Structures are given as C-alpha cells and as structure tokens.
Amino acid sequence: MWQIDWSKIEEVLTYQSDKPMIFSSGLFLFLFLGFSLLYVLLRKKDTARILFVVLFSYYFYYKSSGTYFFLLGIVTIADFLIAGRMSRTEGRGKRRALLCISLAINLGLLCYFKYTNFFYQMLVPLWDGSFQPLDIFLPVGISFFTFQSLSYTIDVYRRQLQPLHRILDYAFFVSFFPQLVAGPIVRARDFIPQIRQPLFVSTEMFGQGVFFIVSGLFKKAVISDYISVNFVERIFDNPGLYSGIENLFGVYGYALQIYCDFSGYSDMAIGIALLLGFRFPINFNSPYKADSITDFWHRWHISLSTWLRDYLYISLGGNRKGRIRTYINLFLTMLLGGLWHGASWNFVFWGAFHGIALAIHKFWRSLLGKQKGETSHGWKKILGIFITFHFVCFCWIFFRNHTFDASWTMINRIFTNFQPQLFMQLVEGYKPVFALMALGYLLHFLPDSWENFCKKEVSRMPFIIQTLLITATIYLVIQVKSSDIQPFIYFQF
C-alpha cells in the first residue's frame, strides 16, 4: 500500500540528459515550493541560509549538466583566491599577472569545452587530415558563469570592488541558481552587497516577482515553445521546401521565438530572485521597438551588451583613440560577442554584421551631428524601427541556421519565390501559430506604461489572487506544451 517508487526518487536525484531542469518544468516548480519553505525558515540565520542556497544551486546545476558542476567549484575557488591575493598585492605588474591567471582559467575552460572542435576543424586542413569531432560535452551556462566570475576579478583589479573574505559568499554569487545557466550576467559589485543583507521581501517585491514569473512562463512555455514546434522549426529545417512568404514568416516567427524564450527566462530569473529578496537588473527592454541598431543593443540582452562594453570594448580603447579605432573596436567587440554565442562561423558572421552596422550607425550620427542619447520622432522613428527590425531579422537567419547553404537558400526563396498569394492559405493552415505570433508582437509593442500598470496591479492583488494567477498560468502551460521539454535556446551558449 505504501510501496515507494524508487524510480521516481532516482529521477529527482540524478541527472537526466533528456530532461534537464528548467524553470518551466513541473519538477522545478514542485521543488521550488519546498525550497521556499526551508528558505523562509532560515531567514534569520544568514550563514545557514546562504549555505542552503549554494547547495540547492549546485543540485540545480547538476540536474542541468550532470557531473560538470565541478567546474563551478574550480572557477569559484580559483577566482576567490586570486582576488584575495590581488587585493594584498601592490605592484601593478604583479596584479596584472594575477588577473591574467584568472583570465586564463575562465577563458581556458570556456575555450576548451566550447571551441576545441571549432579550432580543430579549422586546423585540420594544415596536415591534410579528416575532421572527426572530439567527444566534448558543452556544460550548460558555462559562458554565463565564467563571464560573471570574471567581472569580480576584473573589478577587484581595477580597485572598484573590495574582495570577499568568505568563500561561501563568493560561491553564492557565482552559483545563485535563478541566473546560473542563462543569465542575466549579474555584476559582482551589484549583487555582492545584497548577500548579507537581512532577508526582506516587501509586498511590492513579491507582487513584481509574481508578475515576472507569470510573464516569463507565458512567453516561454506558451508563445515561444508553441510557435517553435508547430511552425518555425519546420521552416528552418527545410527552407527550400517552402515559398518565400513562408520563409519570411518563419523568420518573423523565430525573431519572436528567441525573444520570448530568452526574455522569458530572464523574467523568471528576475521574478524568482525577487521572491528570495534579491534584485537583478532588467535584461530586455522591448528590443524590437529600437529605432537604430545602437538602440537595439541598449535593449537586447542588456547584461551581456554592457559586459562587453565595460570589459572588452573599453579595454580595447573604446572611443578614446580616434574615430577609426572606435569603429574597429566596435566591430571587434561584436565579432567576439558573436563567437561567444557559439563555435560556428554562422555566429561569427552574425556578430560581424552587427559590428559593421554599429560602426556605420555611429559614423552616420557623427555626420548628422547628433548627440549621444538623441532620438528620432514621428515618421523618422517609425521608419527607423521598421529598418532596424528587418535588419535584425536578416541577421537572425544566420544565427538560427546551422549552415550557410541553408541561410542562402532561405534568403533566395524570400527574394526570388515570394508568392504573396499564399498568405491567406498560410494563415488558414497555421491559425493558432499566427494568433500567438500576433498576440506576442502586440504585447511587445504596447506602450511601456501598460506593462508598468499591469505590474502595479499584480503587486496590489491579495496573496490568494496572486497564487491563483500563477496556478492558472501553469495550467495554461500544461494545456499547450509539447510532449517533450523544450530547453531554453540560450542553454546552448
């Protein structure tokens, strides 16, 4: 009568490669409820609470990447010790050497797991060999937690941050599970001061947390997953089988899919952190409302774009070494930003396109004599949004496809075999997909004041209504989700 189902317990405790733990999975939602109860009980015991969160975070990462959670330990111990030593070292040369060690460890791990096969494939022709990919597993989120840890050692090197004296606190910063595997990339100087503060979650914070979680779940598990499985994947898997208009709307669908997928994860991470008493910076700000490519990167993946600006672009010289050098620095920053996304020439070209566009836009603004922060209005703004959105969509073609041949096929079909007369037939055949796409873009282009209004209204709701709102969203997710778990797109980065 009380027989224990050991297989279920094993499933909870062990890594399942086909079922990684993600925020929208039933297992996480169930475990988070139990986690929250213990977290509240430990609210007045800082060290015990921090240790509990670190252990849960390592478990969370184990459920996402298996035994590769030891990489978190390597990064944590190494950068904690290096930063501590750096703060006690006076000579600039010695401190720079310590920073180089930190860079070598973090970027070395990143390069080995992410780029070994990429560079190996490039070098094979030198000895007329045949390329056989090495069996190297890419740990989930390695690009995120290595960059996050580097922000700490670089800030300590620049004397912008005092190093931590407790390794437990640093482990908390590096491994904090809400943003561990897909960001946002939280800066050490923004997050570390919050670690030892008394645990306090105001009514406003709780309400905002509920809003972000509901918003993120809806974006990811309802809009993104549905249009991906039922439309976008079909187009991108075989672009040559479809007309130009079908390919075009496949690109529009992917633009919405990747936004809802990634911003949905960020929203859930921000919401969960708020429920735990921590504040993360906003990672997306309606990016398709951007009226220039520069504005787009002020709105898209903000934590990465600002990281690249502060730790790469400025380190290269920024705009301090003349106009030509500024354009080169912009291009190199985005080129490396593209490579950060994946070990593929597609990502390199994607980054190069954005780098060239940023340089051209900066040059154009200088010709017009526009000041930094000056924006367009009226029809100029509308035209800017239209051009920027379609340039970004054009770049998504290379980002999403695995080969250049597939990208060129898709572009060729759009420009040479458009067949606009198929539009109504396309909509008729994919009614739910186009309804969700229309809803997704409508919500995206609504005025910011509408989102702020909804956020405030959710914050004012009684606790029971907020609970019912989350329950209703989870029920909706269950009704529309596909049979298989759809991992977040940025897990691969």
Residues 54 and 85: beta-carbon distance below 8 Å: no
Q: How many CB atoms lie within 10 A of CB 365?
A: 15
Q: What is the mean pLDDT of the chain?
A: 87
Of 409, 411, 415, 412, whose CA–CA distance to 393 is shortest? 411
| 381-384 long-range contacts, CB within 8 A, separation 24+ | 381/291, 384/291, 384/292
Does residue 459 have a pLDDT over 90? no
- 129 is a domain residue: no
CA–CA distance, 136 with 146 (Å, rounded to integer)? 18
- 283 is a domain residue: yes
Is residue 42 located within the same domain as residue 141?
yes
Encoding tokens for residue 427?
């909509």
State residue 56's pLDDT score: 92
CA–CA distance, 25 with 472 (Å, rounded to integer)? 15
Is residue 187 located within the same domain as residue 214?
no
State residue 484's pLDDT score: 56
- Out of 199, 230, 250, a domain closes at 199
Residues 99 and 158: beta-carbon distance below 8 Å: no
Mean pLDDT over 430-445 rounds to 94
pTM: 0.89
Q: What is the pLDDT of residues 9-42, one digit of tens each?
A: 666 777 776 677 777 676 777 888 888 889 989 9
Does residue 438 have a pLDDT over 60? yes
> Could you tell me which residue, 66 or 330, shows the higher pLDDT?
330
CA geometry: angle at 169 spanning 167 and 171, to 5°?
70
State residue 31's pLDDT score: 84
Q: Which amino acid is at 418?
A: F
CB proximity list for 249: less than 8 A, separation 6 or greater: 235, 426, 437
Identify the helix (H) or strand (E) that includes residue 130. Answer: none
Surface-to-core class of residue 283, CB atoms within 10 Å of its CB (0-12 exposed, 13-18 middle, 19+ buried): buried
Q: Which amino acid is at 311?
A: Y
Q: What is the pLDDT of residues 254-302, one digit of tens each?
A: 999 999 999 998 998 999 999 999 999 889 999 999 999 999 999 999 9
What secondary structure letter does DSSP report for 126? G
Q: Which of 51-55, 281-285, 488-492 has the lowest mean pLDDT?
A: 488-492
Encoding tokens for residue 42?
């430990």
Surface-to-core class of residue 193, CB atoms within 10 Å of its CB (0-12 exposed, 13-18 middle, 19+ buried): exposed
Is residue 119 located within the same domain as residue 251?
no
CA–CA distance, 268 with 358 (Å, rounded to integer)? 30
State residue 132's pLDDT score: 77
Residues 69 and 192: beta-carbon distance below 8 Å: no
Q: What percent of the chain has pLDDT over 70?
A: 92
CA–CA distance, 186 with 200 (Å, rounded to integer)? 20
Encoding tokens for residue 166?
């407790």
Is residue 66 located within the same domain as residue 193?
yes
Residues 105 and 78: beta-carbon distance below 8 Å: yes
What secondary structure letter does DSSP report for 120? H
CB proximity list for 262: less than 8 A, separation 6 or greater: 182, 284, 301, 488, 489, 490
- 115 is a domain residue: yes
- Domain hosting 438: range is 203-291+376-484
Q: Which of 40-49, 68-77, 136-145, 282-291 has the lowest mean pLDDT?
A: 136-145
CA–CA distance, 60 with 66 (Å, rounded to integer)? 10
Domains in the chain, number: 2
- Out of 179, 199, 219, a domain closes at 199
Is residue 51 located within the same domain as residue 145?
yes
| Dihedral sign for Cα atoms in the order 261, 267, 270, 271 | negative
State residue 478's pLDDT score: 67
- 301 is a domain residue: no
State residue 466's pLDDT score: 82
CA–CA distance, 184 with 283 (Å, rounded to integer)? 6
User: Binning pLDDT at 50, 70 and 90, where does residue 384 land?
Assistant: very high
Mean pLDDT over 466-477 rounds to 78
- 399 is a domain residue: yes
Does residue 249 have a pLDDT over 90? yes
Helix axes 345-368, 378-400, angle to 10 degrees: 160
Cα–Cα distances in Å, from 148 out to 137, 183, 231, 245, 325?
21, 9, 35, 41, 27
User: Binning pLDDT at 50, 70 and 90, where does residue 374 land?
Assistant: low
- Out of 199, 223, 241, a domain closes at 199
State residue 485's pLDDT score: 56
Does residue 386 have a pLDDT over 90? yes
Q: Which range, 194-208, 401-415, 459-473, is most confident?
A: 401-415
Q: Which of 209-213, 275-279, 472-476 has the lowest mean pLDDT?
A: 472-476
Identify the residue whose tokens are 């406003």: 204
Mean pLDDT over 170-182 rounds to 88
Within 13 Å and on the Cβ side, how many CA atoms surround 457? 7
Helices and strands of the chain, counted as H and E runs? 22, 0
- 114 is a domain residue: yes
> What are the catalytic residues?
341
Is residue 44 located within the same domain as residue 70?
yes
